[in-house]
C-alpha cells in the first residue's frame, strides 16, 4: 500500500536538502547510583525522504535518541535541527507546538486516546496546531484513514479495533499535519507478522513520497526496506549501513 | 521480606499514597466533625431542656385558683402542678415599639417548672422590676440596673427596672423571633396595669410518658375542671422530652451528616480507583512473587495491611481536627439556638463509628480490586501489556458524537468527565444537592415576595392602629381634625379570640410559650372600603348578615370547618356562635371577620372600636402624615397599643423568610464546599489515571496551556451538569413549598426560577469547579512528556 501524499500534504513537502541534523548529541541522567550516560556524541544527518532504521539491544539508547529527536526530552550536550530549526532551547509550549507541526510520532502501543473515535483521534493534532482549516479537518482525517485502509472504522472507539487497525490509525494520526519527519518507536513490536508487514509497507510508501522516517526496531527484516540502518550500543553509534 | 517490599512500595508510590490519605482523611474529618457535633448537640439540647423541668402540659384557664391547683396535684398521674402566665406586651426600643413576652411567675424562689438559669444580677426581681433573657437584652436595649419602657395591652407605658439577666434555654433566640423576653412577678403585672391572674395551669407527668399518656392525663384533668365549673380554654401538650427546636437541630445536623457520608463514599471510590491503578502497575511484580511461591491470600494480605495502615494514619490525622471542628460547630449551634454546652466530649459511639469507618471503609472499597489482582495467574501477570479494553464511555458515547463541532479538545473534556460514571454521579449529587437548596431558597424568597406584595393590593389603607381600650369615633374624628391628608378613617371592632368546636376543649401541640391558639375577631364596618381579600370559598359578608363569619384560609383548614358550619368563638371567656359563610386568602394577620353591628352588640358598643384603618389622600407624604397622626393621637391621650403602616406589614412579611433563606443559602454554600473538595479529589485521581494520555497529547502537539484548559474544561463540564441537575432538583422542591403555602394562605406561592438565582449559583459552582481543579490541571500541564509516556 502506498500513500498519495500529493492529496494530503499541508505545507512541508517538495523541498530538497538536509532535514535532520544532530551534532555531538549526548544525554546523561542523574541516578541514585551516580550519573548515567544514555547517549554520547551522536552525529546524524538525514536528507528529506530518508528512511532510517535505528537498531540496537535493549538499553542501547534507541528510545533516548528518538525522545531527543522528537523534542520529548532535551539533550545535555549537542544540537538537533529539524528542517533548519533548532529543537534545543525551546520552552515546553514551543516544543509542543513545534512537535505538532513538524513531527509525527507512532508509538509501540498505538496510544490512541480511548475517549475519542478513530476519526477524532486523527483530527486532534489538526485541532491542536490549527494547521488545517476547521472545515477541512474531518475530510482530511477520512482521506488519511482511507489511505491506511480503515476508513470504515472512522467512528468507532479505539478499543473496538484490532491491534493492526489501531496501529494504522496511529500512523494516520502521525500524518495528520503532514509533518516532514515521522518517528516510529517499534511500531510493529506488538503486531503479528502479517499485520507488521502491512504497516511497514505503509512506511515505505510514505518515505517514497518524501516523508523522512526514523524507525526504531528490533526486526531485522526492516533493514531490507530502509535506506540506512544505524546500530546503537551503550549510547554510541557503532554501525551505520546504507542499503546498496 | 514481603513487608519490606510493602514499605518500599509505599515510599516509591508516595504520591498515590498521599492522595489516598488525603481523600480518606478529609472524608473522616468531615464524618468526625458532623457525627461528633450531632452526638454532642442532640445530647446537650435534651439535657438543657430537661434541666428546666419542662411542664408536660399546660391547661389554659381564666384564672388558676388554689383549689384548681389542689385538684391538679392530686389528679392520678400528675406529680406536680404550678400556676404561670404569659402576657403579650410591648417594649419601647429607640422610639419604636417591639413585641415583648412577659413570663409571670408566682414565686421566683419556689418555682419548679420551666426553670431558667440566673445569669447575672438578682435571681428574683423586686416588685416593679423584671429579669430579662440574656440574648434578648441587646435586642431590646436592656441594661442591668437601668429601666426599659413596657406597655401591656391594658396598662400605661411604665418604666420597669432590669434587676438581672437569666438564660432560658427553652426559648428561641430573641433576634430570631424579634421579641423581647421578660420575667416578672404578679405584683409587677398588676403595676403594669393588668389583672394579676395567672391563666396557665402547668402540670408535670413523672417518668418518661408517651405523648398519648400525657394527652390522656391533661385532657382528663381539663374535663374534670370544666365539669367542676372552671372556665377551661384549651390544653397544650408539646412533644414529651423534646426541646422546641430539637427536631430542627437534629434535621440540620443529619443533613450535614449525610453529606459527610457522601464524602466518605466518594473517598472510598477514589481509594479503590487509585489502588486499582497501583495494582495494575504492579501486576508484573505480583506475577513474579507468585512465580516464586506467593499464595493469593498472601498477596491480598499485603495490600489489606497497607489499607489498614492507611486507615489508621487517616484516623490519626483527621480525628483530632474533626473533634475540634465538632466543638466549634456545636458552639455555633448552641449560640444560634440559645442553649449551653456543658460537656464537649462526644458520645462513645461516635468514636466507634468513626474508627470503624476509617478502618473498614478503605478495605471494603478496595476489596474487589485486591481480590482480582491477587488471583491473577503468573502467565497473565507476566504477559500483561496494559492495553485498554472495552468502551471507555459506555452507552452514552453515541449521544456525544454531535459535540465534535466545538472542537476535539472540547470533546475530550466532556467525554473525560463522563468516563467514570460512579464518581461523576457522586460529585454531581453533592454539588447538585447544594445547588438545589440554594436555588430553592432564593426562588421561594422570590415567590414569597410576589405573594407578600398582595398585601399592598388586598389592603387599601396606609396605617393600622389598635387601641388597648375601645375608642369613640367622635374622639378619633376630633383628634384627626388637626391632621391634613386623611382620606378615610375606618373604625373596626377588634378583639383577641379563641375558636373552638362547641362544647369541646382544644388540644394543641404547642409549647407553653408558643402562643395561645388565639386570633383576632374583627368587626367589619358596613361601609368598609379598606380591605378587599380574595374569596376562596363561599362569599364575603353582606349587609343583611348578622351571625355570619368569614374565616382566613389558614384558620379554616386548621379548624377543619366548612361553609355552613357553626363555630364557637370565645372572647375573654364569653362564647358566641357564628355560621361560616366564606373563606378568604389573607396574608399578615387578621383571622375572622364578622359584621361590626353584631360585634358591637356582643363585645362593645356602637360607634366605638379598638382598631382604626386610615387611608391617606394621594400625593401626600406618607411618613410625615403617619408621624402627624401618631402625634395627634398622643396629644389626645388615645390608648394606642400598636401603630403599623401597611408598608411595615409588607416588610415584616418579606423579612420573615429572610432568616431561613439565609440559613439554607449558607448550608448550600457549605455543602458546595464539601462537594468542591470531593471534586478536587476526583479530578486529581482522574488526572493521575490519565497521565499517559496527557503525555500522548503533549507528544502530538498539545501545549501545557491547552492541557490546563482541557482539565479545567472537564471540571467545568461537571459543574454545569450539576447546575442542570440542581435546577431539576429545585423545581419540585419549589412547587412543594409553594403548595404548603397554599394550605396556609389560600393560594400557592407563584412558581419562579429567578434567572438571577440560577446565574448566581452557576457563577458560584464555576468558581468552585475552577478552584477544585486548578491543582490537578496544573499538574497535568506540567507533566514531563517522557515520564508521562512511561507512566503505567
Q: With helix as H, strand as E and coil as C, how does A85-153 read?
A: EECCCCCHHHHHHHHHHHEEEECCCCCCCCCCCHHHHHHHHHHHHCCCCHHHHHHHHHHHHHHCCCHHH
Under a CB-based contact definition with an 8 Å cutoff, are residues B79 and B202 in contact? no
d(C-alpha B422, C-alpha B432), whole Å: 15
Residue whose C-alpha cell is 408535670: B204
pLDDT at residue B1, as a whole number = 60
d(C-alpha A104, C-alpha A121), whole Å: 13
pLDDT digits (tens, 9 = 90+) for B298-332: 788 888 888 888 889 999 999 999 999 889 888 88
Beta-carbon contacts of A152 under 8 Å, excluding residues fewer than 6 positions away, are none
Whole-Å CA distances, B170 to A178, B37, B174, B339, B514 = 79, 20, 12, 8, 11
What is the SS3 assignment for B95?
coil
C-alpha cell at B480: 384627626
pLDDT digits (tens, 9 = 90+) for A177-214: 989 999 998 887 777 777 778 888 888 888 888 889 99
pLDDT digits (tens, 9 = 90+) for B528-539: 999 998 888 899
**Element holding B635 (H helix, E strand):** helix B622-635
DSSP assigned state of B420: S
Report whether pLDDT(B514) > 70.
no
**In terms of DSSP H, where are the helices of B527-617?**
553-559, 596-603
Would you call A124 and B692 a contact, using CB atoms and an 8 Å cutoff?
no
Q: Which of B389, B693, B700 has the CB atom closest to A99's CB atom? A: B700
Would you call A67 and B385 a contact, using CB atoms and an 8 Å cutoff?
no
Under a CB-based contact definition with an 8 Å cutoff, are residues B564 and B580 in contact? yes
- Looking at chain B from residue 385 to 414, which residues have their Cβ under 8 Å from any Cβ of chain A? 385-393, 397, 401, 404, 407-409, 411-412
Under a CB-based contact definition with an 8 Å cutoff, are residues B123 and B205 in contact? no
Alpha carbon of residue B155 to chain centroid: 37
Question: Count of H helices and E strands in chain A?
Answer: 6, 10
**Element holding B551 (H helix, E strand):** strand B548-552
Neighboring chain A residues of B393 at a CB cutoff of 8 Å: 115, 157
Chain B CA closest to residue A93:
B703
Cβ–Cβ contact B293 with A under 8 A:
no
Would you call B700 and A125 a contact, using CB atoms and an 8 Å cutoff?
yes
- Rounded to 10 deg, the angle between the B14-51 and B296-337 helix axes is 40
Under a CB-based contact definition with an 8 Å cutoff, are residues B247 and B338 in contact? no
pLDDT digits (tens, 9 = 90+) for B93-150: 876 667 788 999 989 999 999 899 899 999 999 999 999 999 899 989 999 999 999 9
d(C-alpha B534, C-alpha B606), whole Å: 28
Report whether pLDDT(A7) > 50.
no
Neighboring chain A residues of B415 at a CB cutoff of 8 Å: 115-116
pLDDT digits (tens, 9 = 90+) for B135-173: 899 989 999 999 999 988 777 889 999 999 999 988 877
C-alpha cell at B147: 429601666
Q: Is the ipTM of this complex over 0.85?
A: no
Would you call A107 and B696 a contact, using CB atoms and an 8 Å cutoff?
yes
pLDDT at residue A14, as a whole number = 36
pLDDT digits (tens, 9 = 90+) for B388-429: 344 444 444 544 444 445 567 777 777 777 777 777 887 888
CB atoms within 10 A of CB A208: 13
Amino acid at each position: 500500500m502506498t500513500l498519495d501524499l500529493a492529496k494530503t500534504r499541508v505545507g512541508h513537502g517538495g523541498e530538497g536538502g538536509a532535514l535532520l541534523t544532530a551534532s555531538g548529541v549526548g544525554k546523561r541522567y542523574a541516578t541514585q547510583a551516580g550519573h548515567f550516560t544514555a547517549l554520547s556524541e551522536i552525529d546524524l544527518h538525514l536528507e528529506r525522504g530518508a528512511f532510517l532504521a535505528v537498531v540496537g539491544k535493549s538499553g542501547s539508547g534507541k528510545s533516548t535518541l528518538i525522545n531527543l529527536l522528537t523534542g520529548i526530552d532535551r539533550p545535555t550536550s549537542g544540537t538537533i535541527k529539524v528542517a533548519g530549526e533548532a529543537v534545543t532551547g525551546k520552552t515546553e509550549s514551543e516544543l509542543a507546538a513545534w512537535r505538532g507541526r513538524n513531527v509525527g510520532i507512532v508509538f509501540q502501543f498505538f496510544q490512541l486516546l480511548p475517549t475519542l473515535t478513530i476519526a477524532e483521534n486523527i483530527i486532534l493534532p489538526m485541532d491542536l496546531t490549527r494547521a488545517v482549516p476547521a472545515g477541512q479537518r474531518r475530510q482530511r482525517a477520512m482521506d488519511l484513514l482511507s489511505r491506511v485502509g480503515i476508513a470504515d472504522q472512522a467512528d468507532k472507539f479505539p478499543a473496538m479495533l484490532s491491534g493492526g487497525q489501531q496501529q494504522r490509525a496511529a500512523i494516520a494520526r502521525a500524518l495528520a499535519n503532514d509533518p516532514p519527519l515521522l518517528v516510529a518507536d517499534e511500531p510493529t513490536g506488538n503486531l503479528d507478522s502479517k499485520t507488521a508487514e502491512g504497516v511497514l509497507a505503509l512506511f515505505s510508501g510514505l518515505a517514497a513520497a518524501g516523508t523522512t522516517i526514523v524507525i526504531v526496531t528490533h526486526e531485522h527484516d526492516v533493514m531490507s526496506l530502509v535506506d540506512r540502518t544505524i546500530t546503537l550500543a551503550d549510547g554510541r553509534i557503532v554501525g551505520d549501513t546504507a542499503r546498496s | 521480606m514481603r513487608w519490606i517490599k510493602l514499605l518500599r512500595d509505599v515510599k516509591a508510590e508516595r504520591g498515590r499514597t498521599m492522595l489516598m490519605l488525603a481523600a480518606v482523611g478529609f472524608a473522616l474529618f468531615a464524618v468526625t466533625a458532623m457525627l461528633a457535633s450531632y452526638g454532642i448537640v442532640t445530647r446537650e439540647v435534651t439535657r438543657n431542656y430537661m434541666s428546666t423541668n419542662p411542664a408536660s402540659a399546660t391547661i389554659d384557664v381564666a384564672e388558676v385558683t388554689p383549689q384548681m391547683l389542689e385538684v391538679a396535684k392530686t389528679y392520678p398521674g400528675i406529680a406536680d402542678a404550678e400556676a404561670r402566665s404569659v402576657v403579650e406586651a410591648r417594649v419601647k426600643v429607640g422610639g419604636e415599639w417591639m413585641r415583648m413576652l412577659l413570663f409571670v411567675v408566682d414565686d421566683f424562689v419556689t418555682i419548679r417548672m420551666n426553670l431558667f438559669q440566673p445569669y447575672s444580677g438578682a435571681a428574683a426581681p423586686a416588685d416593679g422590676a423584671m429579669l430579662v433573657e440574656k440574648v434578648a437584652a441587646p435586642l431590646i436595649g436592656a441594661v442591668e440596673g437601668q429601666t426599659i419602657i413596657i406597655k401591656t395591652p391594658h396598662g400605661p407605658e411604665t418604666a420597669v427596672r432590669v434587676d438581672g439577666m437569666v438564660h432560658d434555654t427553652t426559648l428561641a433566640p430573641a433576634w430570631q423571633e424579634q421579641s423581647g423576653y421578660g420575667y416578672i412577678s404578679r405584683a409587677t403585672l398588676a403595676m403594669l396595669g393588668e389583672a394579676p391572674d395567672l391563666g396557665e395551669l402547668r402540670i408535670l407527668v413523672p417518668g418518661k410518658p408517651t405523648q398519648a399518656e400525657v394527652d390522656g392525663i391533661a385532657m382528663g384533668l381539663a374535663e374534670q375542671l370544666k365539669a367542676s365549673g372552671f372556665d377551661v380554654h384549651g390544653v397544650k401538650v408539646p412533644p414529651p422530652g423534646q426541646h422546641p427546636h430539637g427536631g430542627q437541630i437534629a434535621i440540620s445536623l443529619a443533613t450535614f451528616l449525610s453529606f459527610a457520608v457522601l464524602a466518605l463514599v466518594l473517598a472510598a471510590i477514589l481509594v479503590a480507583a487509585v489502588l486499582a491503578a497501583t495494582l495494575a502497575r504492579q501486576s508484573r511484580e505480583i506475577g513474579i512473587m507468585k512465580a516464586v511461591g506467593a499464595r493469593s491470600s498472601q498477596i491480598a494480605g499485603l495490600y489489606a495491611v497497607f489499607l489498614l495502615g492507611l486507615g489508621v494514619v487517616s484516623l490519626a490525622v483527621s480525628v483530632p481536627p474533626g473533634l475540634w471542628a465538632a466543638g466549634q460547630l456545636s458552639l455555633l449551634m448552641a449560640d444560634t439556638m440559645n442553649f449551653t454546652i456543658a460537656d464537649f466530649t462526644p458520645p462513645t459511639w461516635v468514636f466507634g463509628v468513626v474508627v470503624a469507618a476509617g478502618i473498614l471503609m478503605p478495605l471494603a472499597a478496595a476489596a474487589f480490586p485486591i481480590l482480582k489482582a491477587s488471583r491473577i495467574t503468573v502467565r497473565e501477570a507476566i504477559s500483561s501489556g496494559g492495553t485498554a479494553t472495552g468502551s471507555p464511555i459506555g452507552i452514552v458515547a453515541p449521544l456525544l458524537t454531535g459535540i465534535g463541532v466545538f472542537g476535539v479538545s472540547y470533546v475530550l473534556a466532556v467525554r473525560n468527565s463522563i468516563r467514570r460514571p460512579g464518581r461523576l454521579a457522586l460529585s454531581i449529587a453533592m454539588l447538585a444537592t447544594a445547588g438545589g437548596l440554594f436555588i430553592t431558597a432564593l426562588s421561594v424568597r422570590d415567590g414569597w415576595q410576589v405573594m407578600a406584595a398582595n398585601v399592598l393590593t388586598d389592603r387599601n389603607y396606609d396605617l393600622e392602629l389598635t387601641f388597648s381600650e375601645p375608642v369613640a369615633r367622635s374622639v378619633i374624628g376630633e383628634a384627626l381634625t388637626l391632621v391634613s391628608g386623611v382620606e378615610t378613617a375606618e373604625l373596626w371592632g377588634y378583639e383577641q379570640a379563641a375558636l373552638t368546636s362547641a362544647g369541646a376543649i382544644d388540644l394543641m401541640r404547642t409549647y407553653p410559650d408558643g402562643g395561645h391558639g388565639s386570633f383576632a375577631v374583627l368587626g367589619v364596618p358596613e361601609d368598609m372600603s379598606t380591605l378587599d381579600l380574595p374569596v376562596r370559598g363561599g362569599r364575603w359578608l353582606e349587609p343583611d348578615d348578622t351571625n355570619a363569619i368569614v374565616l382566613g384560609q389558614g384558620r379554616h383548614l386548621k379548624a377543619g370547618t366548612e361553609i355552613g358550619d357553626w363555630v364557637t368563638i370565645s372572647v375573654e371567656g364569653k362564647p358566641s356562635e357564628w355560621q361560616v359563610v366564606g373563606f378568604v386568602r389573607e396574608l399578615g394577620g387578621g383571622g375572622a371577620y364578622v359584621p361590626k353591628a353584631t360585634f358591637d352588640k356582643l363585645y362593645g358598643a356602637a360607634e366605638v372600636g379598638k382598631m382604626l384603618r386610615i387611608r391617606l389622600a394621594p400625593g401626600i407624604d406618607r411618613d410625615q402624615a403617619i408621624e402627624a397622626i401618631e402625634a395627634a393621637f398622643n396629644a389626645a391621650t388615645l390608648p394606642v397599643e400598636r401603630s403599623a403602616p401597611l408598608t411595615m406589614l409588607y416588610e415584616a412579611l418579606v423579612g420573615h423568610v429572610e432568616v431561613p433563606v439565609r440559613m439554607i443559602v449558607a448550608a448550600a454554600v457549605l455543602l458546595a464546599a464539601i462537594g468542591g473538595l470531593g471534586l478536587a479529589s476526583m479530578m486529581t485521581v482522574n488526572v493521575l489515571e490519565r497521565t499517559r494520555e496527557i503525555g500522548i497529547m503533549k507528544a502530538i502537539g498539545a501545549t501545557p496551556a491547552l492541557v490546563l484548559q482541557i482539565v479545567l474544561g472537564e471540571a467545568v463540564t461537571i459543574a454545569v451538569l450539576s447546575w442542570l441537575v440542581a435546577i431539576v432538583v429545585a423545581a419540585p422542591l419549589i412547587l412543594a413549598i409553594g403548595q404548603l403555602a397554599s394550605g396556609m394562605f389560600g393560594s400557592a406561592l407563584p412558581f419562579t426560577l429567578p434567572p438571577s438565582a440560577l446565574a448566581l449559583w452557576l457563577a458560584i459552582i464555576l468558581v468552585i469547579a475552577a478552584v477544585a481543579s486548578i491543582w490537578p490541571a496544573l499538574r497535568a500541564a506540567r507533566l514531563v512528556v517522557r515520564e508521562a509516556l512511561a507512566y503505567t
